[in-house]
Amino acid sequence: MNAPNLKASNFKSDITPIWCPGCGDFHVLMSITKALAKLGRPPEDVAVISGIGCSSRIPAYTNCYGFHGVHGRSLAVAAGLKVARPDLTVVAMSGDGDGFSIGGNHFMHACRRNVDMTYIVMDNRVYGMTKGQPSPTTESDWDSAISPGGTGVSVFHPLVVALASGANFVAREFSGNIKACTETILDAINHPGFSFVEILSPCVTFRPDEKEWKNQVHTASVPETDDPARAARRLMTDDGMNTGVLYRGNREPYFASVSDERGDISALEHAFVV
Amino acid sequence: MNAPSHDSSNVSFAVVGTGGAGAITAGSILLEAAGKTGWYGLLNRSVGPQIRGGEAAALVRVSTKSAVCMSRKFNILVAIDWKNADRFVNVMPVASGGLVVCDPAAGDPPQAVLDMDCTIVKCRIGELAGSVKGGRENMIAVGIVAHLIGLPMNDVMKIVQSKLGKKGEQAVEIGRACINAGVQAAVEFGKTYLLSPPQDSSKDHWLITGNEAVGLGAIRGGVRFAAAYPITPATEVLEYLTPALVSIGGALVQAEDELASINMIIGASFGGRPSITATSGPGLSLMMESLGLAAASETPIVVVDVMRVGPSTGIATKSEQSDLNIAVYGFHGDADHVVIAPLGVADCLFAGQWAVHIAETLQTPVIVLSDQSIGQARVLIDTPANVSFLTQRKPFVNTGEEYKRYGLTADGVSPMAIPGQMGGQYTADGLTHSQRGTPSSSSRDQHEQMDKRCNKMDEFDFGDYWGLCEGDIENDTVILTWGSLTGAAHEALELLEENGPPTRLVSLRQISPFPIEAVKNVLKGAERVLFVEQSYSGQFYRHVRSNIDLPFDIHKLNREGPNVIGPEEIANKIRDWKDQ
């Protein structure tokens, strides 16, 4: 199954991304293709699933099988695919609006369900495709046309929700650190169960302040843990800018799967005979 | 000394009680025993939303030939108690000359029952059950009805053995003792409603509900994955599918909501596994956006909607045919898809299989409009024929050339690669896309893809499965209906043959795309057309009218649920026809 000598370029399509110059998502595309090359599975054995938004355009920029679905439902498409085709590597990729707002319910339940797949959220703390509205991860005082003076609403903390809901692997990276992103994505894919990686990925167009992120992120001072309580304590003092693997659990992944044998249905029919 | 109204080819009875009293179990045992004897039959439940303490009634019809709909009048009504009876006695009128059996300890029958032209017999059901240690009243009711209709006792006992056997031999013995006590009590009534012996007792019968049948049909069609969220009255589809799929290497995932369930089946189908979900109106409303995604991305899926009374939460446990509009017209954009409707409980099997065949062949979403009246009805039928469709997605073959997932073809259907196939990688997309699948906002791509998807529907041969015609084609009066009311219309035709103008029946299984030529053809020569449907606004009538001209004298028999339209009403509407 492993195809040697795969390069990141084997996982890139010939379609030019429509992202703005300077968008962090370019780096995420580089990291995911590098990670997949390191994984060593051929592109046809990988599926990249997304919802709607700037970051969700990513499947078509890879040379894998892709599904660009409706807003907020990438995790559901990905879970159905992985249960139906356990032989594939399934990666769902999304943004903060897609993943935490319209798709928030699926996020919680995907963590609980623990299907063996990876979820990468490119978090830029803004709705970019609709030109700059606050998302669940946007600071509550961030000024915008739709919410002048800020939303006044508490900021959503994806890592807290992931950990509390039962995700089996939780990490944060910064898109500009391509080497670290690549390693963490590969780690997440290889880890059994539901793996969640938040990648801080700046929107230089609607959040020019995020250009400063490269100077603000720092490697977490505490090592990763398999103890949810320790991980939770670390999150209580999280400044939102520390990176690395937070939690690596050992829950059994979701059990259901579909085999490719077409079973005999005669017993099912016989069951209705009086 | 049979009552004058009693027809020995047909007997109907109701067992009523408070939820938890076991009325449904009693009805089920009697129906299954009738199947062992070689009779046909049908059981519908009338239940309230409460699981315990609400009303519950098993409405059963047993007959010597196939029973396609519930009787409107009952020969026998056995009341374990009268609690909450006011909520449902109006839907189970006892026929003239019929018999009501009730326990004096449970108080007087409601006025509605006292007003019926029938014999009321007091029988101490509770006391009889109490005389057997651990005995239950519903088993007394089984004995009473078995005696009254002449159900062979060894068949009843076989079913009791198979139903109660897992609870231990003692439970079986208690059941038997109660049934015998019921029989002894019924002998005293001096009245029976005996059914003629079965025409062919050697034939195997199936006992199946519409919800089970649609699930089995889908499995016959190749479904191996399901995802769903529980909802009345569709939950039994899911509870049937879970162990059934596991037994053949498939799986059902219980999703967090309907938004997830439809997207899970889209994902599984993208992965090459035929997939299904089942829901009811509220769930279908939530699924609409993603149904459009399946249409645009050309991902085959089947969605079964077991319709219930709407709008909004409506009456979850009762039937209506009022989701036609959303199923056909609820999509945003021009989203080509298919809507079909089973023509009765037994037809749910075929409809489930046909839906998968159409979905896989056309790479499109298919909505199956079943409803509570057939989904939750249990029927005894002849062993169903095994229809074999050659169901296959148009396969992708790697030629080394650039793969066009949405390439233009003569029949509009493009080869569909599945993940794992080298050289077939593409991104399925709800965005307007080029033939290759690349997102596009060009007018040419939009036009090409619209044309292509429309062409799939135009080029597909739906064959003779579009609907059903009964009665002499020369008859110029036509009953036009669809889906679950076909059974009632069929029986109306029989009533009209005895007494009424020459009438025929046309019923549609294919709702959308509308079978324009077939319906036009079959309506040639018609003078008078009666539309029959369970919808207040006449959704079916409007749908037909928007597709074909109707140069006929038109009458309509349409109303909202929960009162299901029956054969007598349909026949009377034809008999009382006044030309407009």
pLDDT for A182 equals 98
pLDDT for B128 equals 95
% of chain A at pLDDT higher than 70: 99
- Residues of chain B with Cβ-Cβ distance to A267 below 8 Å are 247
What secondary structure does DSSP assign to B347-378, as a single string? HHHHHHHHHHHHHHHHTSEEEEEEEHHHHS-E
% of chain A at pLDDT higher than 90: 95
Among B134, B234, B243, B146, CA closest to B189? B146
Of B253, B267, B423, the CB nearest to A77: B267
User: Does the ipTM surpass 0.95?
Assistant: yes
Tens of pLDDT, residue by residue over A218-252, are 999 889 999 999 999 999 888 999 999 999 999 99
pLDDT for A222 equals 85
How far apart are the C-alpha atoms of B358 and B374, rounded to whole Å?
22
Distance from CA of A81 to the nearest CA of B (A): 4
- Token representation of residue A231: 């991980």
- Residues of chain A with Cβ-Cβ distance to B428 below 8 Å are 66-68
Please return the burial class of B368, using the count of CB atoms within 10 Å of its CB with bins 0-12, 13-18 and 19+. buried
What secondary structure does DSSP assign to A128-160, as a single string? TTTTSB--TTS-TT---SSSTT----PPP-HHH
What secondary structure does DSSP assign to B409-429, as a single string? -TTSPPPB--TT-TT---EEE
Query: Going from the N-terminus, what domains does chain B have, and what CATH number goes with each?
Result: 10-187 (3.40.920.10), 207-382 (3.40.50.970), 394-460 (no CATH), 466-579 (3.40.50.920)
CA dihedral for B569, B325, B311, B537, sign (positive or negative): negative
pLDDT grade, residue A3 (50/70/90)?
low
End-to-end CA distance of chain B: 46
Among A261, A260, A258, A252, CA closest to A80? A258
Taking an 8 Å cut-off on Cβ atoms, the answer to whether B219 and A257 are in contact is no
pLDDT for A190 equals 98
pLDDT for B3 equals 41
Distance from CA of A61 to the nearest CA of B (A): 9
pLDDT for B1 equals 38
Strands annotated E in B450-537: 467-470, 477-482, 503-508, 510-512, 528-533
Taking an 8 Å cut-off on Cβ atoms, the answer to whether A45 and B419 are in contact is yes
- DSSP classification of residue B331: S
pTM over 0.90: yes
pLDDT for B143 equals 97
The answer for B217, left when phi > 0, alpha when psi is -120 to 50, beta otherwise, is alpha
pLDDT for B5 equals 47
Q: Which residue of B32, B270, B392 to mutate against A (max A Cβ within 10 Å)?
A: B270
Angle between helices A158-165 and A228-236 (to 10 degrees): 160
**Minimum Cα–Cα distance from B223: chain A residue:** A262
How far apart are the C-alpha atoms of B44 and B429, rounded to whole Å?
43
Taking an 8 Å cut-off on Cβ atoms, the answer to whether B216 and A65 are in contact is no
Q: Is the distance from CB of B313 to CB of B353 less than 8 angstroms?
A: no
Give ∠ CA B151-B154-B158 in degrees, rounded to 5: 110
pLDDT for B50 equals 62
Taking an 8 Å cut-off on Cβ atoms, the answer to whether A65 and B427 are in contact is yes
How far apart are the C-alpha atoms of A95 and A90, rounded to whole Å?
17
What's the average model confidence in pLDDT over A171-200? 98
pLDDT for B90 equals 72
**Side chain identity at residue A206, one-letter code:** F
- Residues of chain A with Cβ-Cβ distance to B36 below 8 Å are 274
**In chain B, which stretches have pLDDT less than 50?**
1-5
